[in-house]
């Protein structure tokens, strides 16, 4: 007896009005179908089968080996979709969870509860239901006078009386596996949409005298099925609240949670403080006791402890502990900042390694370079990495001093302890401990001003 899961992800999602397939739309930085599979995986399944059709390649590329796949070439309805898993699961004994790829908020705990309820009740099928204030668009759960579930009627097929029912089908079900595939053969497409509805399995089982059960989830918010952009925004808001609450419970201070945007997989350490209008995206990891100031955007970046980021943008980089960045700095992909580096305002760093305790306080561009430790990079320094055709790399040795407004024309190597005079344009390597001056000499013309016409 095993546990199996079928994730429905073959629909195009017409109501999204998008060239992107519905289940690939992201909620808090992660595709809806990925949220669903993450929850399902945690429950522990012997097999997970995802039904793909529209956008099959994209879904498979995203989920990879986390799932097996069954192809639904024509989208003839949710019942037809589940039937496509027959060759993979049809002959197995056990319990099968069916869940829609467009319900990203359903949690692992709820999935576990409905499966336990199903197994304890001995029913052939159990539907996960929810009580909705606005049930419009969902399938309604029709119960008989004794309170037992009779059937599910889709919104488009419902009569006036049924439309008033507020208990909805969440699109998640648990079945006895053999009963599921046997009964699917009996489902017809005689309804308003001309589709093979999965929920019809419930009514057929009931009519055949089998026990059918319903499990009403406590938190209605988990039930949201995303069919259009309005629901997508609702899902985003609810998921964001959930994520932010989690981080606060873990010891992260969010000055204004309603304007803090943290993606699902982000990790943040204790005593980190996050100001309003901050976005932390992708696979970012932030250490302990950091300060992330207002307006910062951090994407796929790993940050150590006690790092101070003010109103800056960091992408795909690694920042060691004690670093101080901003305001208005831009750390572009592939940069590594060693411990206690200082990056001040209007500094851009790209594809470069910066050794510990190196400082660049203002108005600097470092691109395709390797910098040693304890360097002072003066205001207005530019690594001239691009000749119009190719990018070149430069190195700057430890303990060197780069004067203000220097151009370091790559490829060039500045030795350890070297001193570059302000305003120099350096085109040749500078040995260790050497002073390099590359600017025209100053000439003072004494008493010249007195001879100027307007002074006469």
Q: What is the largest CA-CA distance in the chain?
A: 115
366 binds, among ligand UD1, Mg ion, none (CB under 5 to 8 A by kind): none
Among 25, 35, 39, 80, binds ligand UD1 (CB under 6 A): 80
Hey, is 188 helix, strand or coil? coil
Give which of ligand UD1, Mg ion, none residue 115 binds (C-beta under 5 to 8 Å, depending on kind): none
Give the residue carrying structure tokens 């109501």: 15
Residues across the chain: 456
User: Is residue 75 near Mg ion by the rule CB under 5 A?
Assistant: no
Q: In Å, how far are 39, 245, 308, 324 from 272, measured between CA atoms?
A: 27, 14, 10, 14
Task: Name the segment binding ligand UD1 (CB under 6 A); options: 101-109, 267-275, 429-437, 447-455.
Answer: 101-109
Using the structure block, give the residue that is written with the tokens 């985003």.
236
Q: Which stretch binds ligand UD1 (CB under 6 A): 68-76, 305-313, 389-397, 426-434?
A: 68-76
Q: Give the whole-angstrom CA distance, residue 412 versus residue 402.
A: 13
Q: Contact with ligand UD1 (CB under 6 A): which of 6, 27, 81, 418?
A: 81
Interaction between residue 297 and Mg ion (CB under 5 A): no
Which of 215/365 has CB closer to ligand UD1?
Answer: 215
Binding string to ligand UD1 for residues 307 to 326, with x set by CB under 6 A, is what? --------------------
Tokens of 420: 């570059």
Distance CA 39, CA 170 (A): 15
- Count the site residues for ligand UD1 by CB under 6 A: 31
Indicate if 362 belongs to the active site.
yes
Choose which of 47, 191, 227, 376 interacts with Mg ion (CB under 5 A).
Answer: 227
- Looking at residue 386, the DSSP 8-state letter turns out to be B
Token code pair at residue 250? 């873990």
Decide whether 102 or 275 has the Cβ nearer to Mg ion: 102
Residues in contact with ligand UD1, shown as a per-residue x/- string from 230 to 249 under the rule CB under 6 A: --------------------
CB nearer to Mg ion: give 233 or 273. Answer: 233
Tell me if residue 280 falls in helix, strand or coil.
strand
How far is 170 from 132, CA to CA, in rounded Å? 10
- DSSP code at position 442: P
Q: Is 101 an interacting residue with respect to ligand UD1 (CB under 6 A)?
A: yes
Restricted to residues 152-191, the positions that interact with ligand UD1 (CB under 6 A) are: 152, 154, 168-171
- Contact flags string 95-124 toward Mg ion, x per CB under 5 A: -------x----------------------
Interatomic CA distance for residues 212 and 130, integer angstroms: 16
* Annotated active-site residue in 117, 155, 210, 362: 362
**Is it true that the peptide bond before 250 is cis, omega within 30 degrees of 0?**
no
Whole-Å CA distances, 52 to 6, 9, 223: 11, 5, 22
Note the residues at the interface with ligand UD1 (CB under 6 A).
8-11, 22-23, 51, 72, 75-78, 80-81, 100-103, 138-139, 152, 154, 168-171, 197-199, 225, 227
């Amino acid at each position: 007896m095993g546990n199996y899961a079928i994730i429905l992800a073959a629909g195009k999602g017409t109501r999204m009005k998008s060239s992107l397939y519905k289940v690939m739309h992201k909620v808090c930085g992660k595709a809806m179908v990925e949220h669903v599979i993450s929850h399902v995986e945690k429950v522990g399944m012997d097999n997970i089968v995802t039904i793909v059709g529209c956008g099959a390649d994209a879904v498979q590329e995203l989920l990879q080996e986390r799932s097996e796949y069954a192809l639904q070439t024509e989208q003839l309805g949710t019942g037809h979709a589940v039937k496509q898993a027959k060759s993979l699961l049809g002959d197995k004994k056990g319990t099968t969870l069916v869940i829609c790829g467009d319900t990203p908020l359903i949690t692992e705990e709820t999935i576990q509860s409905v499966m336990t309820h199903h197994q304890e009740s001995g029913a052939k099928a159990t539907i996960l239901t929810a009580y909705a204030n606005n049930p419009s668009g969902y399938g309604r759960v029709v119960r008989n006078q004794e309170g037992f579930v009779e059937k599910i009627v889709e919104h488009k097929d419902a009569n006036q009386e049924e439309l008033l029912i507020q208990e909805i089908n969440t699109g998640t079900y648990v079945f006895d596996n053999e009963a599921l595939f046997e009964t699917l053969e009996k489902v017809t497409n005689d309804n308003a949409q001309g589709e093979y509805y999965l929920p019809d399995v419930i009514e057929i089982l009931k009519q055949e005298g089998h026990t059918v059960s319903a499990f009403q989830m406590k938190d209605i918010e988990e039930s949201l099925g995303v069919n259009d952009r309005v629901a997508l925004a609702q899902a985003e808001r609810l998921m964001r609240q959930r994520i932010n609450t989690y981080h606060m419970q873990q010891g992260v201070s969010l000055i204004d949670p309603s304007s803090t945007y943290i993606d699902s997989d982000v990790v943040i350490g204790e005593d980190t403080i996050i100001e309003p209008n901050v976005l932390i995206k992708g696979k970012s990891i932030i250490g302990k006791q950091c300060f992330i100031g207002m307006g910062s955007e951090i994407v796929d970046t790993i940050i150590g402890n006690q790092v101070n980021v003010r109103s800056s943008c960091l992408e795909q980089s690694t920042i060691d502990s004690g670093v101080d960045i901003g305001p208005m700095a831009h750390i572009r992909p592939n940069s590594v900042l060693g411990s206690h580096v200082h990056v001040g305002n209007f500094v851009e760093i790209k594809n470069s390694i910066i050794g510990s305790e190196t400082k660049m306080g203002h108005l600097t561009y470092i691109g395709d370079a390797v910098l040693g430790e304890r360097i002072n990079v003066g205001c207005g320094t530019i690594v001239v990495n691009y000749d119009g055709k190719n990018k070149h790399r430069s190195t700057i040795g430890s303990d060197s001093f780069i004067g203000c407004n220097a151009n370091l024309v790559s490829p060039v190597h500045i030795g350890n302890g070297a001193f570059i005079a302000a305003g120099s344009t350096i085109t040749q390597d500078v040995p260790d401990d050497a002073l390099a001056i590359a600017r025209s000499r100053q000439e003072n013309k004494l008493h010249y001003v007195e001879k100027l016409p307007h002074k006469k």
